[in-house]
Amino acid sequence: MEKTKLKTLAKLKAPPVMKALPKPKAIVILGPTASGKSHMSVNLALQFAGEIVSADSRHVYQEFDIGTNKESANELAQIPHYLINISTPTEQVYLPDYQQLAFSAIDSIIKKEKLPFLVGGTGLYLSAVIENYQIPNVAPQPELRKELEKLTTDELTFRLKKVDPEGSQLIYQNNRLKLIRAIEFSEVSGQSFIANKRTAAPRHDYCVIGIEVEREKLYQTINKRVYDMLDRGLEQEVKKLSTKYGWDAPAMLSIGYREWKDYFAGKKTKDQVIAEIQQDTRNYAKRQMTWFWRMEKKSKINWVETESEAKAVIKKFLAS
């Protein structure tokens, strides 16, 4: 009898089992450069009462519009966009800063009872948000940077491979700023700048949609887009910005800008510049797809070819 009473009392005193509250929903639209992310995301955000958070590392820079193929004034007017034009061309936006800004933007959209759309092709930005990277706070190291800035690009690449062999494969080898930051981060923290990052539970319930484009078709679009940028005044934009900020400004290291340096110095023809931008952009698209394939190990990506397919995926996600 006593045992029965004790069991009954234990049941009465036991705290009720609390069900975890559902996480707020958010949509992610990713894809390689020139796959049509911006246009599709604006149309979908209009249909689903959404607002857009940019995940493009080049769109953060003010004044750099044509060469980055930044959203048009019409697109920006149709839907609120976040994390575009947030940095001067001489300042870098480091990953921890971007991650916190993105979380704040997403939460702000949710508070407005709108649907957040995280849209872009910068894999590191996307993964940092979706997988909730736990990023050590590694402050810039002035003395180490001075030492690294004296090294050639090949020497920087070799040094990064020594401290972070896997992550070095995912960093564009001609981008000295990224190489220096990656070495600085890895040598101080003892962790990879990109690979094997510690993660935590996602902050939101993400539906990840990837835009799938046949490779040859994508390359044709990339090649054509470079000519479209020229028609819109790319050469004049680069000349103006390089004069104003110099070739070593972080924003000037972006594809579409850095290739012009030798042209303005009289060392290249315009045709060579065009071909180089096209090639660099195609190579970038390859690296983006490599990143997205790696992402699929942790995050399910719903690959679509059309806007109607993406719409169906979102409807199913929101109804679940």
- Residue ranges of E strands in the chain: 25-30, 50-54, 81-82, 115-120, 205-211, 301-304
Is the pLDDT at 198 greater than 90? The verdict is no
Is the pLDDT at 186 greater than 60? The verdict is yes
Global pTM value: 0.84
Proportion of the chain above pLDDT 90, given as a percent: 68
Residues of the chain with CATH 1.10.20.140: 136-196
CB 98 within 8 A of CB 125: yes
- Local confidence band at 178 (pLDDT 50, 70, 90 cut-offs): confident
Decide yes or no: CATH 3.40.50.620 for domain 23-133+203-313: no
pLDDT: which is higher, 278 or 248: 278
In this prediction, residue 16 carries a pLDDT of 58
Q: If residue 72 lies in a helix (H) or strand (E), which one and from where to where? A: none
Question: What amino acid is encoded at 226 in this protein?
Answer: V
Residues of the chain with CATH 3.40.50.300: 23-133+203-313
In this prediction, residue 218 carries a pLDDT of 98
Instruction: Say how many CA atoms lie within 13 Å of 102 toward its Cβ.
Output: 31
Q: What is the mean pLDDT of residues 44-65?
A: 97
In this prediction, residue 6 carries a pLDDT of 47
170-200 in b/e burial notation, b at 16+ Cβ within 10 A? bbeeebbebbbbbbbbbbeeebbbbeebeee
The span from the CA of 11 to the CA of 5, in Å, is 10
Residue with the two structure tokens 């009465």: 12
Tokens describing residue 289: 């797809």
Span 136-196: which CATH code? 1.10.20.140
Phi, psi of 135 (to 5 degrees): -95, 120
Tokens describing residue 92: 């870098």
Q: Please provide the average confidence, as pLDDT, over all residues in the chain.
A: 90
C-alpha dist (Å) from residue 127 to 80, 292, 297, 308, 318: 23, 9, 12, 25, 22
Give the pLDDT confidence of 4-37 residue by residue, as tens digits: 554 554 555 555 555 667 899 999 999 999 999 9
The span from the CA of 82 to the CA of 129, in Å, is 14
Tokens describing residue 133: 């990277």
The span from the CA of 56 to the CA of 93, in Å, is 11
pLDDT: which is higher, 318 or 178: 318
